[in-house]
Amino acid sequence: MMKILLITGLLATISCTVNEKEQAAEQVEINSNLTTQKICESSLKEKDPYDINFDVDQESRQLLIQIDLDSGSYYLSPNTPGTFKGLLKVNFSENKFITINEKIHVNPVPVREENEWGEGLVDIIRQSTVHSLGYNLKTNEDFNIQGSVQFVIEPKCTLEKIPVTIYRKDGKLNFVRNCP
């Protein structure tokens, strides 16, 4: 009788241990999935001296890019006169779904400063800024178009090329950053 009780107790302990391990494995899987979704955002913020967000103002038909700079960081306005290669640009290939206006509006207006790379004045952005581009839809179809937003962030002096997507689904236009 003692052996039967001992074996029953041992089996119950093993069963509980197996269930606890299965539950722990399920929890790790859930946590892993949540972590994977957050990796893009957290890893990007760790290495970039700015935060960038994308949105669409459906009413005014504007694509919006908001860049919040860390202290000491800056970049040239897309409307700076001259032929600088590092100006903020938005690139999408020609397509049959949407036309994006080339003129980028900047709010607030950047400060015009003496050019540290040569003679003349440049428009430098040193604060949180919203860039807006008008768009015209050519179709009511759903679509998905890849593109990029690029600029040189200073004083890091790196060309930031951010992959983005414009897509329309169920009648709603979206503008999002692609995770590398």
Please report, rounded to a whole number, the percentage of residues in the chain having pLDDT higher than 70.
74
Q: How confident is the model at residue 66 (pLDDT cuts 50, 70, 90)?
A: very high
pLDDT given at position 82: 78
Return the SS3 of 70: coil
pLDDT tens figures, 86-143: 899 999 989 999 999 989 999 999 988 888 777 688 899 999 999 999 999 999 999 9
Q: What's the longest Cα–Cα distance across the chain?
A: 98
pLDDT for 2: 53
Spans of all domains in the chain = 1-47, 49-177
Which one has a higher pLDDT value, 71 or 22?
A: 71
Mean pLDDT of all residues belonging to the chain: 81
Closest CA to 125 of 69, 52, 84: 69
Q: What is the pLDDT of residues 141-168, one digit of tens each?
A: 999 999 999 999 999 999 999 999 999 9
pLDDT score for 22:
52
Q: Domain 49-177 carries which CATH code?
A: 2.60.40.1250
Instruction: Give the CA count within 13 Å in the CB-facing half-sphere of 34.
Output: 6
Lowest mean pLDDT among 9-13, 70-74, 128-132, 173-177: 9-13
Residues 10 and 83: their CA atoms lie apart, in Å, by 79
Asked if pLDDT for residue 44 goes beyond 70, the answer is: no
Between CA 141 and CA 102 the distance in angstroms is 23
Between 47 and 53, whose confidence is greater? 53
- Kindly report the number of other CB atoms within 10 A of residue 11's CB atom: 10
